Amino acid sequence: MPSPCTVTCKFEDATGANLQGNAFVRFRLRNFSGFVPRVIGTTIIVETQIDVAPDSSGNISTPIWGNDNIDPGGTSNPPSTYYTVEYWNQGRITSQANYSIVGASLNLDTASQLNPPPVPPGVSGISTLLLQTNGTNNGSQSKLNQVGGSGITITDDGAGNISFSSSASIGTAPHMIGPGILDLHAAPQGSLGGQTNGQNNVVVWEFFLAVPTVSFGHISLNGQNSVAGNGNLYIGIYDSNKNRVWQTVLTIPNGTASRNFTIPALQLNPGTYYLAVGTDDPSGAIAYWAFAGPEANYFDSGTSNANIIQQITPRVASAANHIAGGSMPATLGALTTLTQTSAAAAAVPAFFFEP
């Protein structure tokens, strides 16, 4: 025949003085999860919370049904139910902890605390569960729902094993063509009509990168310098707050041959960015190979698709801040929408980024 567990502890303040009077300990039975808690064949536990006050010496002693006798989960080790024990004084809770109360007696002064507490009934074969991400406890210890992102596949392999795979890389290595273009399907026609928009001015194209983190170390392009041949092509990447995260300065020789350049390391995580281009050439006329097919038409004021991507916010624009001191601006500043009639707006850059 089961019998309650005798639970004891002693109440003192930080000076070692005994506490009594307005101090008490509160026991709250937890984790029966919709079941009726009971000691089978003996009793139904109708009141799951009790308060016990210390005696004149600060000692607590009370019988309480142990978790090893309570259904649900009375036969598991540790049992699925547990008690949250709260310590109160002067009308306020001072601390609390979770305990598995088992056996004939338990001294809370020396008992081990549960961290984390047991999982709810119904999780077969698991006595405790700790949910973490990169070694840090998750905010919820009752739910873990792993969701794949763009290009990421999550597979439950069974037996607690989960595998992750990526299908987002294009070709044999990650690459990006111009402002976040990852797959052309049928390559558009191009031209050298993509001129920058005046000396030291900055033109930007907003794009969203939905693939996993990619890293680049080279850029290829077809382009030619101005007739004078005395300017540089500036290329930058800005984050969604219009702050510069990367830049490179390229000297483009005259002629239209394809060229590859080693660039400072560029790493992009999924998110919204701006590709920015400018020149310090006095003529403002450095040209580069640009899309002249369907992609360009979305910015072309002379087609039925005229400017359709810019109805809500500037996505092809000139930046208020300019090139200075041999560097792209640290921030773009205000953006002003461009159309094809605003010089370079239709010339979506065909810069090929690769590792």
The H helix count followed by the E strand count for the chain is: 1, 26
Please give the pLDDT value at position 205. Answer: 87
Query: How far is Cα 282 from Cα 228, in angstroms, rounded to an integer?
Result: 9
186 pLDDT band (50/70/90 cuts)? Answer: very low
Q: Give residues with Cβ within 8 angstroms of 129, minimum separation 6.
A: 116, 119, 123, 141
pLDDT above 50: residue 255: yes
| Chosen domain end from 59, 92, 107 | 107
For residues 229 and 328, membership in a common domain is answered with yes
For residues 185 and 98, membership in a common domain is answered with no
| 3-state class (DSSP) for residue 56 | coil
Q: Give residues with Cβ within 8 angstroms of 337, minimum separation 6.
A: 307, 310, 314, 316, 317
Residue-wise pLDDT for 69-107, tens only, equals: 998 865 555 567 899 999 999 999 999 999 999 999 999
Q: Which domain holds residue 34?
A: 5-107
Residue 85 sits in a domain whose CATH number is: 2.60.40.1120
Residue-wise pLDDT for 324-354, tens only, equals: 999 999 999 999 887 655 444 456 788 889 9
**Average pLDDT value for residue range 31-54:** 90
Please give the pLDDT value at position 343. Answer: 45
For residues 79 and 194, membership in a common domain is answered with no
